[in-house]
Structure formats: C-alpha cells, structure tokens
Structure 1
Amino acid sequence: MNKKKAALHNLGCKVNAYETEAMQQLLEEAGYEIVDFSEQADVYVINTCSVTNMADRKSRQMLHRAKKKNPDSIVIAAGCYVQTKMEEAKLDEAVDIIIGNNKKHDLIPAILAYEKDHAQKESVTEINHRQSYENLSMTKTAEHTRAFIKVQDGCNQFCSYCIIPYARGRVRSRSLTDVLTEIQALADNGYQEVVLTGIHLSSYGIDIDDCLLHLIEETAKIEGIRRIRLGSLEPRIVTEEFVKAIAGIDKICPHFHLSLQSGCDTVLERMNRKYDTKEYEDGCRLLRTYFDHPAVTTDVIVGFPGETDEEFAQTKSYLEKIRFYEMHIFKYSKREGTRAAAMKDQVAEQIKTLRSNELLQLEHRMSKEYREYYMDKPVEVLMEEPVEINGKRYFTGYTKEYVKVALETAEDISNTFQTGTITERLSDDLYLMVEF
C-alpha cells in the first residue's frame, strides 16, 4: 500500500518555521511521506502568518493554491491568520481543517476526525486567555548544522502597530527540562549550533519563575553543543548583569538582534515601545564593552503614522551613530485591529518607499564595513553546504558573528569547524577563507 503524501508550507517567523517542522515530524511519525509543496499531496498544511494585511493575503493564496493542486486533498490552515480571522477562514471553501495557535499538536487527531465525515474541523482556543505552553518538539530539523529551538510563545507588550499579542496570546514559557531534553536529543543527532527563539524571547521564564539567562547557562552545559545563538532580544534585557554573564559563556555567539523600530523617541512613544534611544544605545555600548566586535542587528519601521521628515532624519542619524551589522527595513503596513491603524497622519506610500530606499543604502554600506573588519583576520567557521562559483567548488558556513565565509575544497566538510584567514570578498555577503 502506498504511503499517503503530505506537504507543508511555512509563512512568517522563525517560531512558525519551528512549528512547521514539528508538525512535519508528527506527520512522519503517523506514516506520511513528506513531499515538496509544489507536488500533489493528500494533505497540505499551511502554517499561516498574520503580521501584516499582506501576510493574510499570502496565507489565503497558499491555501487556495493547495486545493487547486489537488481538489481531493485535505487542506489545513494553521497558525496566526486563522487565529485572528477564524470566521473568514471558516467560510473559505479551500479550507478543510482550521488549527489555531497552541493547538498544533492536534494535527493528526484533526486529520483522522475529518477523514471520518469530511465535515470542516476546528481546533482553535481563545488565545487571549492565559494558556499553558504548547509542547511541540523535534529531534531533527531541515537544516543540518543549526537547530532553532522554540522556548517561548506569546507577547505582553502590545506595541501599537502589532497584531501578534492577539494572534499568539500572552507570554507562555516552555519548561527548562523540556528545552534541555530537546537540545540534548538534537546534540545526540549531530547538531552543534542551536538558536534559542520565541515570539518575545526576552520574556522567557516570567510565568514559570525562571529567566532567559538561566536557560542560556543550562544550555551551555550540554555536551555536543558548541554554539548558542539568541533570537531577537528587547533592549531592556541588555543590562550589565546580563551581558557580563553571557560574555563569560564561550559558546555564546556575539551576534545580537536588538529590536529598535525607530531612532526617534517621539515615534517610539507612539509605537508604545518600552524604551528610549538612550537606553538602546546604552545596551549596544555594553555589548561592545564585553564582546570584541559583536554583530548587532536590528529592525526599523519607516513611515509610521505621523512620522515627519524631522523624525525620519533623527532615525537615520541615530542608525549611523549606532552602526549596525545588518538592518531589516520595513515600510509601515496598516494592520486592522491595531491602534496604529486608526492613527491620524498616515504616511503616503511614495514617502515610505523613499525613506526605505535611503535606509537600505545605509544598511548596505554599514554591513559591508562590518564584514570588511574581518579581512586578513583569523576566523572559525561552521561549514554548512557546498556551492559552485565560477566553476569552482566551495563549502560555505558562518562565523560566530554570522559572517558568511567560503572555503574552496572538493571534500564534504559539512557540519565541521574550519579555521583560516579571510582574504577576499567573493560577493556582497560572501568572503573567501584560506586555511591556516
């Protein structure tokens, strides 16, 4: 008897990506053969996103694409879009099963129930009441060297532009034991680098009498794990106590994503962010005091409601002063259901585009400067995959600071650490390393 086939598609953040892989593992354990989303399958799982109106639209498009690919298939809409737009999803003829956040562990029972009577099934909880952490886990991931570990869900911040607290609910932390058990299993399967991630990672532990620092310290004790990266952090967690402690952990990668959003205090206040530019700058100074040339990356929103030319100029000047390795630039997108959507003085799209282009040029310049620092310097790289460039075979990987490096070799050196000196730039984001 042929195995049933399942295909999955992920939209959105690293937490969504983790959950998609966990659902894939559930399907594999239930006997499904996993195929590419472009192929015909018996079951399609779309882990949706709702961070913007565009994300909602993309989620609907993927659901319809799946049903068109195989009209007899079971199409499952999971995640944030159905959590925030459940009534809309229920009316969509392409959708057979609806699974909200905190219910993705119900995937297989939901499929079995649908197969009995082919009536649309829902598994959605009222996410805005405090729930326990949904226990999904993995022993392998799609990446062969780096594993993302979801340790926390939900957010209590309620930034004025963001729908996520309504889609993901309040902060819920995974138990320390569960996290460490999963990381140990991944280490046993050969993974040497883990990335601790969550919807609001800095809040880890506040609901279970624990904290992110303790989680990091315990993760560092796991044999086989040689690198620990952190997902996006809120600036206010970057205290001297925190930075000094993690600087004493050799396995920590000096690669920190500190969410900024604006370099202007009046805009930050309208965004309902919980810090100002001085606090943010103090955090960057601490990181650069305790780590040698750390990679500091960030997010910036341009064209937030009411953002004047002067406020934008302040942001640009501030970004130049802080000097980031990478910046993710977003044009503000009005999100129904948020306070910012109802604010006056919405910025014209053409102005957002001009401002975005200015910051993208700045980002390109600063990113190049950061990478150039490592020219002629020794580095250690965890190798990931082979590539061919101008007829030559290389293996590429990343330094602890997340600088992408290539080493010319005919050998398979995946998931090995290689040391050498960076000698030249192969492309905008790829540098050549020569072994010692």
Structure 2
Amino acid sequence: MGKKAALHNLGCKVNAYELEAMQQLLEKNGYEIVPFEPGADLYLINTCTVTNIADRKSRQMLHRAKKMNPHAVVAAVGCYAQARGKELEKDEAIDLVIGNNRKKDLIMILKEYEAGLGKHLHRAEIGKASEYEELEIDRTEEHTRAFIKVQDGCNQFCTYCIIPYTRGRVRSRKIKDVCEEVRRLAAAGCREVVLSGIHLSSYGVDLDQGENLLSLIRAVHDTEGISRVRLGSLEPGIITEEFVRELACLPKVCPHFHLSLQSGSNRTLKRMNRRYTKEEYLEKCRILRKQYENPALTTDIIVGFPGETAEDFEESKAFVEEVSFFETHVFPYSRREGTKAAEYPEQLTEAVKKARSREMLALDERKRQEYLQSFLGKETEILIEEKLLLGEKYYWTGHTREYQRAAFLSEQNLENTLIHAVAVGIAHGDVLICEETVL
C-alpha cells in the first residue's frame, strides 16, 4: 500500500505552483495525496516568510501537522525553511527542513530520511545559486487557468524585503521549457496561463540575448490551444511605450496589469529603494491606458513604513486616489530581521499601522466599486470556470479578461468555454451579473 501525503501551501502564486509540482512528484513516486487531516504519513508545508504573520502561520501549520500524526514525517519546505532553517532543525515537531532550490530533490531527500540517515537540513547557499530549479507540472487543479513559474530570485534589494535573501539572485527558465509545459497544459484542457515569478520583470537578464520577457510572452501567446495569457506582478520600469505597444499587438494578452507601487510618497519610495518616483509611476499607468481601453490596474501598498509621517501617508492615499486602481492590496509594514529597514529609526506602532490600513482599504473598496460600475451595459468576455450558487440561483461563473468575477445564467454546460455577454448588474459586492448578448 502506498504512503499518504498531505500538503499545505502558504504565500504567493509561485509557492502554489511549486507545491503543485511537488505534489505531482509525490504522485509519480507512489504517494496518495490526501486532505490535510489526521492519518497522513507525510505532511509537507510549503512555507512563507514575507511577513511576521507568514512566519507565525508557517510555524502553526508545522506543529499542527505533528499533532495530527506524531509518527508522520513533517517537512518544512520553502522560504521560511530557507530563512530559519537552523532554528527549525532543532524543533522536535519538524523532521525535514528543505530550503529553496532543493524542492526538486524532494523524493531523494525522503528516501534518505527513510533509510535512517537522520534529520538533515537541506538548504542551498541561495545567494550563490545560478541555475533555475527545474520544477514542472502536467496539469493544474484549477483546470481552466494555470500559473506557470518562469523566473526565480530578485536583485532589487528593497529595504523592507527579505525575499532576495531567501530566493537568491535572478534565475530564468528557458523559453523552450516554458512552452513545452504550456503545450502539455493546453492538451490537458487549460485555456489560460499566468506567467509568474519572484521578479517577473527581470526575466531573461541571465539568459542569451533575445530571451527576454517580451519574447517569452510572444512564444507563449503563439502556443496552440491557449486562449489567454495573463502576466504576474510587474515593476514599473519595464513599462515603456515600445513594450506596451508590442503587448497590445498580441490579442491573447489580457488587459490586467499588476504594477507594484508600495508607496505614493516620493520620500518613502526613496527610503524603500524603489528606484522610481510617483510621477514616473503615473506615466507608466498613462502608457497602459493609452494602448488599452479601461485596463485593470492593480497594485500593492505598504502602510506604516518606518518614518512614514502622517503627511507621507496622506500623500500616498491621494496618489492611490489619482491613479484609480481597480484593486489595491494593502500591507502593514512588517519588520524583517536582516533587512535595511529593520534598522531604521522611527518604527511605527501597530496601532498606527492598523489605522492606516483601514483607511487605505476603505479607499480600495470605493475604487473597486467604481471600476466594476464602468462595465455595466458593456459586452465582456468570460472564461467560465465552474457552476456556483449565488443567492437562490446557480450561475456559471468565471473571470473576464480584466480578471473581474462574472456570472452567467444558462442551462447548458459552459465549463471551460469562452462566452461573450453584457454586464447588467453587480451582486455579492464584486460579481458582475451578465446576460446573453443581444445583437
């Protein structure tokens, strides 16, 4: 009888992709994947360390796993394991510690452990890693949409961020390998791919000339069977007139752009080492809106950065208002040991951070509703994913090209199809209710 493995993911879409790849490695080697409940022989937690909360959740899940089965193997994998490996090695609840760039060796590491070679810390010297870690998937649990990791590492060293220390320098996946995976996923029924990475805008800086993000997007766009190409988080610097003009010539590329901002205050941006001003950022948004009609622009904002004054915060809020994002992901600043900002004076209190988060989130909700309202009465394309009960009726639900949730009434089975419909209302706060197009 094969062994049972339970898996749990914390953190970003790159982490989620890597967990799917590890799951498929386990399945190919005879493991049965079971829910994260008592009864598994292996509990694998893909950890995150981007904030203090992520650290705490990672520790909680690891200890919860050991309580569910004290005789099971508990494996801490990923960024928290990379950053805090020596501490985790001493934790009696954890049997294996596997850092980044060693996930591909999961099966070998498990076999070594089962052979009685003892508890070991499996971490690469991530700062010296120069080769992309080959992990891949043949299918995705979402069926219609697949997140594909194309790049790892970051060279930016923003003063608040621990990720360059846990993921290492930029390493890119070769275009031919990405396209082979996309072809397999398309053959399995996937209609949309999301190109993801730790610092996607740096894709190709370590590859041969001609292999850059734009050439990758073109190659994926031209892969048979794929209807949509969506991009993960981008840095403002990559948005130029030429880059966006080329993107706009690729009809499968979705008009949905996540441009990382972090602050709307130039003083704070400089102290964050973000390498652009708010004026330059605003110009990038104008370039996108020049080439695309009503694109979805989303972003990240950190509130309560060390030394952020009330005036800085108001400036940041006013800038978010001016840009008018569809969605703003708001994060209270989290002090990360080993980063430059952790040593900055004028660390703000948690109360101040929470108050500023509430204000920014209220602004986000208002802007989100304004953007949704802009779709009413207009035709939109929906990639149908599943049937869900909304209120008293079952709707076919999915996402538009701008990544708005949308719902459509039909007696037909529309799963994994593209439909065109007119948005006629908004339900449950953020779902576009659509009706059949009348020609």
Q: Same fold (TM over 0.5)?
A: yes
In 1, the alpha carbon distance for the partners of 2:290 and 2:415 equals 33
Matched, 1:65 2:34: no
Question: Contact 1:261 / 1:301 at 8 angstroms: preserved in 2?
Answer: yes
In 2, the alpha carbon distance for the partners of 1:130 and 1:424 equals 51
Question: Contact 1:46 / 1:63 at 8 angstroms: preserved in 2?
Answer: yes
Q: Quick check: 373-382 or 387-396, which moved more?
A: 387-396
Q: Secondary structure at the match of 2:128?
A: coil
Give 1:48's aligned amino acid.
T
Question: Contact 1:100 / 1:125 at 8 angstroms: preserved in 2?
Answer: yes
Matched, 1:299 2:300: yes
Question: Contact 1:394 / 1:410 at 8 angstroms: preserved in 2?
Answer: no
In 1, the alpha carbon distance for the partners of 2:319 and 2:63 equals 44
Residue in 1 that maps onto 2:196: 197
Instruction: Give 1:275 deviation, angstroms.
Output: 1.0
In 1, the alpha carbon distance for the partners of 2:38 and 2:229 equals 36
Residue in 1 that maps onto 2:273: 272
Residue in 2 that maps onto 1:136: 135
Instruction: Give 1:297 deviation, angstroms.
Output: 0.1
Residue in 2 that maps onto 1:327: 328
In 2, the alpha carbon distance for the partners of 1:358 and 1:58 equals 26
Q: Secondary structure at the match of 1:359?
A: helix
1:215-254 equivalent positions in 2, closer than 5 A: 215-254=216-255
Q: Secondary structure at the match of 1:128?
A: helix
In 2, the alpha carbon distance for the partners of 1:219 and 1:49 equals 29
1:150-161 equivalent positions in 2, closer than 5 A: 150-161=149-160
TM-score, normalised to structure 1, is 0.98
Residue in 1 that maps onto 2:374: 373
Give 1:52's aligned amino acid.
T
Q: Secondary structure at the match of 1:166?
A: helix
Instruction: Give 1:427 deviation, angstroms.
Output: 1.7
In 1, the alpha carbon distance for the partners of 2:382 and 2:51 equals 36
Q: Secondary structure at the match of 2:247?
A: helix
Q: Which runs of 5+ in 1 are unaligned?
A: none
Question: Contact 1:393 / 1:410 at 8 angstroms: preserved in 2?
Answer: no
Instruction: Give 1:4 deviation, angstroms.
Output: 1.3
In 2, the alpha carbon distance for the partners of 1:129 and 1:274 equals 25
Matched, 1:74 2:63: no
In 2, the alpha carbon distance for the partners of 1:59 and 1:426 equals 35
Instruction: Give 1:92 deviation, angstroms.
Output: 0.8
Instruction: Give 1:177 deviation, angstroms.
Output: 1.0
Q: Secondary structure at the match of 1:222?
A: coil
Question: Contact 2:86 / 2:121 at 8 angstroms: preserved in 1?
Answer: no
In 1, the alpha carbon distance for the partners of 2:77 and 2:130 equals 18
In 1, the alpha carbon distance for the partners of 2:170 and 2:303 equals 27
Give 1:323's aligned amino acid.
S
Instruction: Give 1:118 deviation, angstroms.
Output: 5.9
In 2, the alpha carbon distance for the partners of 1:186 and 1:121 equals 35
CA RMSD of aligned residues (A): 0.9
Question: Contact 2:144 / 2:191 at 8 angstroms: preserved in 1?
Answer: yes
Instruction: Give 1:237 deviation, angstroms.
Output: 0.2
Give 2:375's aligned amino acid.
Y
Q: Secondary structure at the match of 1:395?
A: strand
Residue in 1 that maps onto 2:89: 90
Q: Secondary structure at the match of 2:127?
A: coil
Question: Contact 2:76 / 2:97 at 8 angstroms: preserved in 1?
Answer: yes
Residue in 2 that maps onto 1:13: 12
Residue-pair matches, total: 435
Residue in 2 that maps onto 1:416: 417
Residue in 2 that maps onto 1:168: 167
In 2, the alpha carbon distance for the partners of 1:353 and 1:413 equals 43
In 1, the alpha carbon distance for the partners of 2:120 and 2:27 equals 21
Instruction: Give 1:122 deviation, angstroms.
Output: 2.7
Question: Contact 2:330 / 2:361 at 8 angstroms: preserved in 1?
Answer: yes
After the TM superposition, list the runs of 4 or more consecutive aligned residues in structure 1 that deviate by more than 2 angstroms.
Answer: 409-412
Give 1:387's aligned amino acid.
L
Instruction: Give 1:348 deviation, angstroms.
Output: 1.6
Question: Contact 1:53 / 1:336 at 8 angstroms: preserved in 2?
Answer: no
Residue in 1 that maps onto 2:360: 359
TM-score, normalised to structure 2, is 0.98
Q: Quick check: 386-395 or 307-316, which moved more?
A: 386-395
Instruction: Give 1:131 deviation, angstroms.
Output: 2.4
Q: Secondary structure at the match of 2:284?
A: helix
Give 2:400's aligned amino acid.
T
Instruction: Give 1:408 deviation, angstroms.
Output: 1.6
Residue in 2 that maps onto 1:103: 102
Give 2:124's aligned amino acid.
T
Deviation digits for residues 94-142 of structure 1 (CA, Å, limit 9, x no counterpart): 1111111011011111111111116113321100113200000001011
